[in-house]
Structure 1
Amino acid sequence: MTTLKHHDPLCVYDVRATLAEGPTWSVEEKALYFVDIVEEKVHRFVPSTGERSVWTAPDRIGFLLPVEGGTFLAGLRDGLHRFDPKSGQFESDTVVEPEHPGNRLNDGCVDSKGRIWFGTMDNGETHPTGSIYRVLRGKDGLEVTHHDEGYTVSNGPTVSPCGKVLYVCDSPEQRIYAFDVDDAGELSNERVFATLTEGYPDGIVTDSEGTVWSGVWGGGKVLRFRPDGTQLEPIAMPVSNVTKVTFGGDDLKTVYVTTARKGLSEEVLAREEQAGSIFAFTTDVAGLPQRRFAL
């Protein structure tokens, strides 16, 4: 692979996805997994060899999170599904929000205690029917608990390195919220962590120092915020719709960035031919290792 530079994005996988999201780094495979929500695809990319694999999901897929044993838990339109890349098969596990048929699952993360946090959203992106949920392993299967509501497009979420702060976006509101998280996984003290004035906060992650990294939809950049809310210098991207980042490489200092073509005019796409592709650059502070959900 071409040598990457500090905070200087380079296209490493010219996939031109409609809506690439949910990047996840596999340390064991040295591979990047991500989804294309609109095209209902799961992608796997090995940067060192250029190897690429694609699987078709049974519906729109918002996130893909690793579980013990080499499989994944995926958030599809209707709920949580198990995905095995060896067979390429999806198996429905838990239906979420059957009372909101217009909603879908959108984004998720695994915290330091092995719990999954995910959000739902209105698939039409107009009604505040989305919520935030927590997933634990229960005696009889997955235990899904509702924790907050009123989101039109929930994004993130991500958890601080200490596990005591949960960050969640409501993208149309241009806000990133923070909650305190106790040992039992209960949320309290909701507050506004950051407000954007240009573009919309999309997927967010934290690095090993607790800095919050946010893709900016319609903003052509990656934003970073210290834990106290101080904004650091933005990292400019060559495409408008920046969806999320993850940290990879042996030292977790390579930043992989997913992007999207969705919503861009033909005129803009003519200027941004690689929109929807995967970009990468190096950074000084390592990310956090991808945590696994304990099924």
Structure 2
Amino acid sequence: MLAEHFLTIGAQLGEGPTWIEGALWFVDIKNNTIFRVDPATKDVTRWSAPEHVGWVLPSAVHGLIAGLQSGPHRFDPADGSFTRIAQVHADQPDNRLNDAAIDAEGRIWFGSMDNLEESESGAVFVLDKGAVTRTPIPAITITNGPAISPCGGFVYHVDTLARTVTRFAIGADGTPDTGTPFLDFNTPERADWGYPDGAICDAEGGVWQGFFSGGAARRFAPDGTLTDEVRFPVSNITKITLGGEDGRTAFATSARQGLSEQELAEQTMAGDIFTFRVAVPAAPVRKANT
């Protein structure tokens, strides 16, 4: 399948696409920008964030929550204000938040990473009713996902540089177990697939994975079997979300980051938004309990 071009954005590091109340939201991490797109008119609204911003997610308590570099903030689109909920990595100013998902209990699972992509200082945290705790998932350089299964029982954690995905069972108290290997992209037949980036789960528990430097998004069944492959006219596919009236329209973010001048000249749509249709719809929309 080939993805279609949807919207010209030219993001340096497009990420975090999320379908919220009939609109597409996403961010440009390195340009500190939050976007909202009306899918019918393609009208774009932009907000400037005071720091690098990795994601925006809906809250059942009030408005939206944004993952800024220093930690999760409450974000009010009406006036563009940000109010910090908690600080993360206060002793590591080069770290930032990268990706997030909401589980069945309304907890936000989010990862951090070294903004320089060198140090193994990235961790996975949980925001639960205003309090942030660090999970026992081992520290790595670039965290991605986490993706939450529709049943709420599993979290998928992506180690981008190691090119692996691990599945953790979520305990009754919200603590993950020691994890089991789910996907390994270091095999010879997957050598040219690039680096696994953002991930989500659909209504059947399938895992959609974007590939940075791989020009593709792929879906894997809960047993790890490859079921779908979508190709793009740009290299850096960061993450997809599922939305639209029936939950079967996929939107993918992409990035210009890491491309040479020649590659940028060849990939004129790098950093834009793409779309394609899927057979399995989105999992039910969850809202944070914070």
- Fold conserved between structures, TM > 0.5: yes
Looking at structure 1, the residues matched to 252 and 216 of structure 2 have their Cα atoms a distance apart, in angstroms, of 10
Looking at structure 2, the residues matched to 280 and 289 of structure 1 have their Cα atoms a distance apart, in angstroms, of 20
For 2:188, the equivalent position in structure 1 comes to none
Looking at structure 2, the residues matched to 49 and 102 of structure 1 have their Cα atoms a distance apart, in angstroms, of 38
Say whether residues 1:199 and 2:197 are aligned partners: no
For 2:275, the equivalent position in structure 1 comes to 280
Looking at structure 2, the residues matched to 224 and 70 of structure 1 have their Cα atoms a distance apart, in angstroms, of 33
Q: Which amino acid in 2 is paired with 1:248?
A: G
Looking at structure 1, the residues matched to 147 and 236 of structure 2 have their Cα atoms a distance apart, in angstroms, of 20
* TM superposition shift of 1:237: 1.1
Q: In structure 2, do the counterparts of structure 1 residues 69 and 113 end up closer, same or farther at CA, with 3 Å as the change threshold?
A: closer
* TM superposition shift of 1:69: 5.6
* TM superposition shift of 1:99: 2.2
SS in 2 for 1:269: helix
For 1:77, the equivalent position in structure 2 comes to 69
Looking at structure 1, the residues matched to 246 and 211 of structure 2 have their Cα atoms a distance apart, in angstroms, of 25
For 1:8, the equivalent position in structure 2 comes to 2
**Which consecutive unaligned segments of at least 5 residues does structure 2 have?**
186-190
Q: What value does the CA root-mean-square deviation take over the aligned residues? A: 1.2
Correspondent of 2:148 among 159, 181, 197 = 159
* TM superposition shift of 1:270: 1.4
Looking at structure 2, the residues matched to 179 and 289 of structure 1 have their Cα atoms a distance apart, in angstroms, of 20
Matching of residues 44-83 of structure 1 within 5 Å = 44-68=36-60, 71-83=63-75
Correspondent of 1:257 among 252, 261, 264 = 252
Looking at structure 1, the residues matched to 60 and 178 of structure 2 have their Cα atoms a distance apart, in angstroms, of 32
SS in 1 for 2:226: coil
* TM superposition shift of 1:83: 0.5
Correspondent of 2:206 among 207, 211, 220 = 211
Looking at structure 2, the residues matched to 280 and 176 of structure 1 have their Cα atoms a distance apart, in angstroms, of 24
Q: Which amino acid in 2 is paired with 1:244?
A: K
Correspondent of 2:11 among 8, 11, 17 = 17
SS in 2 for 1:270: helix
Correspondent of 2:125 among 129, 133, 138 = 133
* Runs of 4+ residues over 6 Å off in structure 1: none
For 2:160, the equivalent position in structure 1 comes to 171
For 1:4, the equivalent position in structure 2 comes to none
For 1:92, the equivalent position in structure 2 comes to 84
Correspondent of 1:149 among 122, 133, 138 = 138
Q: Deviations over 1:228-284 (max 9, x none)?
A: 111224211111000000001011000000000111111111121011000001111
Say whether residues 1:230 and 2:220 are aligned partners: no
Q: Which amino acid in 2 is paired with 1:292?
A: K
Correspondent of 1:107 among 99, 102, 123 = 99
Q: Which amino acid in 2 is paired with 1:161?
A: P
Contact 1:252 1:289 in 2 (8 A): no
Percent identity, aligned pairs only, is 40
Say whether residues 1:26 and 2:20 are aligned partners: yes
The answer to which structure has the higher strand fraction is 1
Q: Deviations over 1:157-194 (max 9, x none)?
A: 11111111100111011111110112221110312210
Contact 1:129 1:149 in 2 (8 A): no
Q: Which amino acid in 1 is paired with 2:16?
A: G
